[in-house]
Amino acid sequence: MKTRAYNEFHTNIKNLPEGEYLTETMHSDRAVWKVISKTAKTMTVVEVNVKKDPEFKPAFHAGGFVAHCSNQSDQTWLFDHVTDRQKTVRLKKSKYSGSDLLWGDKHGATFVANGAIHFHDFNF
């Protein structure tokens, strides 16, 4: 993956509508949320659903539990729709002084601002 500046928007979702997005970081997977309202310290977000992009073909090789996907960092997705599932996230204190990139919900999930990266870990 290409290195980017923290304020440069990045996505791997084709046909994503204009707007502000957050990427939820899970163990190794990533999910995308669209911002529908915000204040200085909170955002209300709705979940974005995606579909498999037929142009991305995972390359599996023998290894791991059953197989290893060698090109999973190249995966792309197609925008499907925005769901009704909402949550509120709050600005997290960060070791990066002045950073407004890290947000969190009441369950401890972390969200990274200024990106819409959907990722499925094929190697897990």
* Domains of the chain by residue range: 10-116
Compute the distance between CA of residue 72 and CA of residue 12 in angstroms, rounded to an integer: 12
pTM here is 0.85
Q: Taking a C-beta distance cutoff of 8 angstroms, is the pair 11, 21 a contact?
A: yes
**Per-position DSSP letters for 82-93, written without gaps between them:** EEEEEEEEEEPP
Identify the pLDDT of residue 67. 81
pLDDT band at 99 (very low <50, low <70, confident <90, very high): low
State pLDDT tens for residues 10-57: 899 999 999 999 999 998 999 999 999 999 999 999 999 999 999 999
Q: Which amino acid is at 42?
A: T
CA-based nearest residue to 76, from 48, 59, 51, 112:
51
* pLDDT exceeds cutoff 70 at 64: no
Identify the pLDDT of residue 7. 63
pLDDT band at 96 (very low <50, low <70, confident <90, very high): low
For residue 99, give every residue at least 6 positions away whose Cβ sits within 8 Å of its Cβ, in sequence order, or none. 6
* pLDDT exceeds cutoff 50 at 1: no
